[in-house]
Structure 1
């Protein structure tokens, strides 16, 4: 073994060569990290192997190996803890650790790419096929099932005979990754995983058709409202009618679930809460609206209901006070029918609402105070709203407008500033409905031209750095309390 020279790190030894510059940071009892070879120290500390002497190696060879392991690159003794100064040129090890820390940070941040707000694709990729008319009216057709799609581009489904009615809600994407959509007198289910199409029901009455659709929260039941006031519950797995409710007197244009409670809004101006488990299903009937109830949405926590009507009013209801017909707030700021409603996924008290052509505004509400936080004039009919669950953004689908440049488009807005990120106005007809996939990455729009268009504009999710524990950060070298 080598013997450490007593004056190797002494000021006398260091000052003997006036050409070499030295620094003396710290105290003699406090190690100076900048002078340590942390890479070699880490290797020695993590090496759990025991020494194994091989009789075939002589002492000269063993001494040579020992020198390699115990001397630094300049032939000086390697020391894990250094208390005095050394030449400034020996500062490579700490830079190596910095590089390791930067590499770890890049991996955790997604290869160093910062997630920017989603932007709408500039080009829609479409496919044209000539098919028999009879086939088009039988089922949905996946036009791009055999075509590779670029990320962020649109997948287009043919949805013939979709009803061009602003007040109805005839599409919903369930948590089972199946889209339910009414096309004329038929209701179809399209599985987004295996791309299978299944007809759930067909209406034989010439004067009747599905006017609203909603999946239950467990995605086992599809609720369907009809023009002639029926409300039916269908088992999606067995394709069987479970129950038929006939408590309304006119078209059911909007329905929404809250656990076992199904809430329906009708052109008979009433809102009904149904307990689908009970024989006597009606638990509450509200008669506050003076025109058709075209918008209904329960909050994520299930304690507040928002209802919009064709008389331009928006009501906020507390679930515990609905039997008394007492609403929390009646909001009069809109100047057209309030159909588009969406609760914020990360602020439970925030609601977004959108109204018809004469209003054309998106309003953000604080439902605890009954105040309007923000109002944006889009100058176009607001048909649908969907919050981005991964980033603070909201998408709006639009219809009629006095301006040809604004009508029939999709817009993406930042929240809470409500600055426009971008828009897509390549549609020839208005966007009737919006819904998003269970993972919150894809938005589907039902367009009056008879198509469903899928846009991957809500992902990928950003990494929540606050969830990285101090121990994980220390072990990964991303963060270190000691420098």
Structure 2
């Protein structure tokens, strides 16, 4: 079969080869479908199976016969169809290429250039056109992520509060969700409406009354309907805003109630000078649920976390307790305590849970301590400590942005804004001449309200008014329907 592909002419020299294209009747080889190389002699070296003439056939590798290397300089290239004449290539490089001439203009291209690309035929345009003007300075990623907001150094509003006590163990200022501010002045409780700027006197003192009630702590519940009012003699009253009447009275403490904190609209806790913490529920007939004992001196501050699972309390004994209120024994107070903090050197009145991070608690020490400490109740460890060089009176985390507000007393009487978790001081406000003992925030969390022993109330605009669009859309997606 191999002899049929060889040439019939015996006089052809072995160095001259011919290329022939196979006919359509024959099946083409898949590996070489273009050409078949023919040889004048009966040799496997130029068989159709070995198309490449530069590869030694296997038959010669097995035998001991010597094979001379063919002279390839005189062979025709097996890729004859790729041959380009030299004179043609020279003409291509030497000839100047002229642009194509369009005889007729396409209607679609005309509409595209006029309406979309806006190309003017009389004006030369280019995609990569050089602009002599300097480009605007690009903002860095940090500037885009954290744009600097302007914080006014002056309060947006100031109210006179004559008779506001300069007492470290009182908490008589709170801004409720109903946009009413409750404040205790000269043994009277007043309600100030932010919407109408009107003042309503809730309790009135009587000059002829011997045992006049002095309220030492005020706190609205979560929906702003009920106001809890603790007094100097240990009595606690509940006032209903919608009914405009008192709904209950509690007499479970013998000494002043220094602090009150609502977990929700029904459950609240208060601390007293009698060293006890009372957990109450307005749905219970007697209101009292159980008591917590751990502090050896007056309880200066109590606050619930956002999940209503933990209660933090600070006392005049320089200690902070973290109480686990779910799954405990009322007859063994030690089972409620999950962690005791002893790192402060003065009374702890300032307490704040971070609503943006679970289990993060900020505590502030008194005049002999002057530090803000950040703790994790999940790991029972202290994360950070900052020396403020001033007595820490109040702390509050923002719900809009991850920042912390602190108010101070001796000796600087300033208001500071901290970035969390770096605890880097962002801004400092100075406007009070006495200790800034009282701190609250507006319902939209954009404005803070401070009260001082200088008998003034000051409103500060320090946070954004609204939550970002990404956050608001996320809250809408997470809404339970």
When normalised by structure 1's length, the TM-score is: 0.67
User: Greater RCO between the two (CA within 8 Å, min separation 6)?
Assistant: 1
TM superposition shift of 1:120: 4.5
Number of equivalences: 357
What is the distance in 1 between the residues matched to 2:250 and 2:262?
15
2:427 aligned partner: 422
What is the distance in 2 between the residues matched to 1:462 and 1:234?
32
TM superposition shift of 1:385: 0.9
1:248 aligned partner: 253
- Long gaps (5+) in structure 2: 1-95, 130-138, 475-481
What is the distance in 2 between the residues matched to 1:65 and 1:468?
48
Q: 1:121 aligns with which of 152, 164, 167?
A: 152
1:467–1:292 Cα change, 3 Å: closer
TM superposition shift of 1:428: 1.1
Secondary structure of the 1:190 match is strand
Q: 1:176 aligns with which of 156, 170, 178?
A: 178
1:75–1:165 Cα change, 3 Å: closer
The CA deviation string for residues 207-250 of structure 1, in whole angstroms up to 9 with x for no partner, is: 53010001011110000000011000001233311100001110
- Long gaps (5+) in structure 1: 1-14, 20-63, 79-86, 93-105, 107-111, 125-152, 402-406, 470-483
Q: Is the 8 A contact 1:261 1:273 kept in 2?
A: yes
TM superposition shift of 1:462: 5.9
The alignment status of 1:369 with 2:375, answered yes or no, reads: no
2:370 aligned partner: 360
1:289 aligned partner: 295
Q: Is the 8 A contact 1:391 1:461 kept in 2?
A: no
What is the distance in 2 between the residues matched to 1:350 and 1:367?
6
TM superposition shift of 1:70: 2.9
2:343 aligned partner: 333
> Which stretches of structure 1, 4 residues or more, deviate above 6 A after TM superposition?
64-69, 466-469
The alignment status of 1:89 with 2:126, answered yes or no, reads: yes
What is the distance in 2 between the residues matched to 1:468 and 1:276?
35
1:116–1:395 Cα change, 3 Å: farther
TM superposition shift of 1:175: 1.1
Name the Cα RMSD after superposition: 3.5
Q: Is the 8 A contact 1:376 1:418 kept in 2?
A: yes
The alignment status of 1:316 with 2:347, answered yes or no, reads: no
What is the distance in 2 between the residues matched to 1:207 and 1:393?
41
2:52 aligned partner: none
Q: Is the 8 A contact 2:225 2:240 kept in 1?
A: yes
2:282 aligned partner: 276
Q: Is the 8 A contact 2:205 2:212 kept in 1?
A: no
TM superposition shift of 1:281: 2.1
2:243 aligned partner: 238
Instruction: Please identify the structure whose Cα radius of gyration is greater.
Output: 2
